[in-house]
Chains A and B, each alone.
Chain A
Amino acid sequence: MIMSSATNNSIAHSPKPVGSQASRRRTVWQRIQQNKALTIGCGLLLFIIVIAIFAPLFSPFDPYVQDLAYRTVPPVWFEKGTWLHPLGTDQLGRDYLSRLFYGARISLLIGISVACISGLIGTTMGMLAGYFGGRADMLVSFLVTTRLSMPVILVALATVAIIGSSLWVVILVLGLLKWDRFAVVMRSATQQVRSMEYVAAAQSAGASTFRILMTEVLPNVMPQLIVIATLEAASAILLEAALSFLGLGVQPPLPSWGLMISEAKAYMFFSFWLIAIPGTALAILIFAINLAGDGLHQLFSPDERA
């Protein structure tokens, strides 16, 4: 929200000397703290990550163990709820809180892996197109146009149905489909960096193209890359949830949040919380990632406030 004038924005490269290394680090830290979107988003995200990592420690029960004597027990805030199962149990008597905790692992795994795969593909394409221009640029633009014209959900659904659905297939298919935004943004970012003097300096020093791309271009397009990666991770998590909801994503008994909603659909009339709990969890996770992404965007580009 509050933007200081002296920044170390890696693209703008402000020539002002910013004093010692220590005080510079302090200004960056201050800006992070003043950035509410970033602090709240990252805080929430960190909370979810900790839960996901330590799911076995926090979970009161095994998320796969069924207890048919305790089916669809409502959460504790309902009259019939019990502290034994704070968020109740599902239609097979599995502890919902434990399933929710383990589900965070799946969503985060999907988000991170898909962003890595599609980020690698899209960044490579975008950087090559932006750096070389000409034919390479035309080819990449064509590939992006083609990819954008195909309906992602439909192609993902069909592919998963043909290959057979599993967690890894979903990750791979989404990763191979969602590189378009990386390519578009990295292309224009690289175009900007290419005309910088330090790139010309590296070229005249005889550095190889690969070296220039890795050591001169990539570090300077990193801010945009990180912002896109957060947005794409969020979108991948939503897509996985939608695929699992339709029964063509992660397969039972894995506790994917989308799958939990799908399995609870038949019980929604009497036990809507079975849907509301994983649905809210998904919304909070996406909210946290988007907020962190917005905050990072503000942090990296303080000048273009809209």
Chain B
Amino acid sequence: MIGYLFKRLGLALLVALTVSIIAYLLLHLTGDPAVALAGEGASDADIAMVRQTYGFDRPLLVQYGDWLWQIIRGDLGTSVYFKTAVAPLVFSKLETTLLLAVYSLGVALVISIPLGVLAALYKNSWIDRLCLAIAVLGQALPNFFFALILIMLFSISWRMLPVSGSGTWQHFVMPAIALGYYVAPAFMRLIRAGMIEVLGADYIRTARAKGLSPSTVIFKHALRNAIVPVVALAAVQLGFLLGGSVVIETIFALDGLGYLAYQSITFKDFPVTQIIVLLLSVIYILLTLASDIANAWLDPRIRVA
């Protein structure tokens, strides 16, 4: 177990380091980051000044090392647009995005667990097909289009929910539904397939033969086993939700990391963008690390191999 732990930890560190290189190089894609930062219509003198303030005139490796060292020391740089330190700016928005991701995951599970179980219990019936149709629709509907439909219904027609902002829990309802419905199909398919497999297992037949009530068999014996792979998927999807919330947060002007990322990109505030890319990647790396370690702890076969 200790050996596995170290190996997995080393991999996570290496991945994080590679991501940091990519995040840093993003700015250098055009060849001259000073031109990109200075924006369109900047004079040569402006560009030269930007180049000097940011130290773009130094060798690339030195720049990267310097940038990374500052981040490790806790200095995330200064925002060009907001004129404040990046660290408090980014971390103040992190909570909103994490909340949204957790709510969305909740919505996805609330949709997918009952539907997945129903589809498995009534395999190949019209109920199964209906569940499949709901899943297929969720995958096909662009989530920004779905979000606009929700706004049209809940905010404009029925005046039940606020259109934008992030003050109260009501502000999270539509974004969470829009994001949650989009990731629900993946869970549904997994739960359905898992339930079908588990329901055919011997111990379910034993449980039924013992005379246990159908609900006990389904929920206590079957679902518990079918839901194990869902935990691993949840970790991956949580990472996706954190990164994928850019569009949804922008539509609802939900003041989280995604909206900040969108703002930083449109305002050419790339130091902020870099940090957000890095931060979201690191969160994803930590999530998968935690899920892998949990799995290894639960399943001895993994940590030995």
Q: Which residue numbers of A lie inside 8 Å of B, CB to CB? A: 142, 145-146, 148-155, 157-159, 161-163, 238, 241-242, 245-248, 258, 261, 265, 268-269, 272, 275-276, 279, 282-284, 286-287, 290-291, 306
Q: How far is the CA of A248 from the CA of B152 in the complex (A)?
A: 24
Q: Which of B64-72, B75-83, B138-146 contacts A (4 or more CB under 8 A)?
A: B138-146
Q: How far is the CA of A246 from the CA of B136 in the complex (A)?
A: 25
Residues from chain A with Cβ under 8 Å of B265 in the complex? 157-158, 161, 248
Given contacts A151-B243, A157-B265, A246-B247, contact A162 B142 (CB under 8 A): no
Q: How far is the CA of A272 from the CA of B153 in the complex (A)?
A: 11
Residues from chain B with Cβ under 8 Å of A159 in the complex? 26, 29
Contact A155 B136 (CB under 8 A): no
Shortest Cβ distance from residue A131 to the other chain B in the assembled complex, whole angstroms: 21
Contact B19 A272 (CB under 8 A): no
Q: Does B196 contact A (CB under 8 A)?
A: yes
Closest to A164 in B: B30
Q: Does B244 contact A (CB under 8 A)?
A: yes
Would you give 13 A-B contacts (Cβ < 8 Å), ordered by A?
A149-B19, A150-B243, A151-B280, A154-B276, A157-B261, A162-B26, A238-B142, A242-B144, A245-B142, A287-B140, A291-B136, A306-B192, A306-B196
Residues from chain A with Cβ under 8 Å of B250 in the complex? 246
Q: Which chain B residues numbered 234 to 272 have a C-beta less than 8 Å away from chain A?
A: 239-240, 242-244, 246-247, 250, 258, 261-262, 265-266, 268, 270
Residues from chain A with Cβ under 8 Å of B112 in the complex? none
Given contacts A158-B277, A268-B152, A275-B148, contact A153 B139 (CB under 8 A): no
Choose among B16, B36, B240 the residue that contacts A162 (Cβ–Cβ < 8 A): B36
Q: Does B193 contact A (CB under 8 A)?
A: yes
Q: Which chain B residues numbered 1 to 52 have a C-beta less than 8 Å away from chain A?
A: 11, 14-16, 18-19, 22, 26-27, 29-30, 36
Residues from chain B with Cβ under 8 Å of A238 in the complex? 142
Choose among A151, A245, A248, A290 the residue that contacts B281 (Cβ–Cβ < 8 A): A151
Contact B36 A151 (CB under 8 A): no
Q: How far is the CA of A155 from the CA of B276 in the complex (A)?
A: 10
Residues from chain A with Cβ under 8 Å of B36 in the complex? 162
Residues from chain A with Cβ under 8 Å of B16 in the complex? 149
Residues from chain B with Cβ under 8 Å of A161 in the complex? 265-266, 268
Contact A154 B277 (CB under 8 A): yes
Q: How far is the CA of A306 from the CA of B124 in the complex (A)?
A: 10
Contact B247 A245 (CB under 8 A): yes
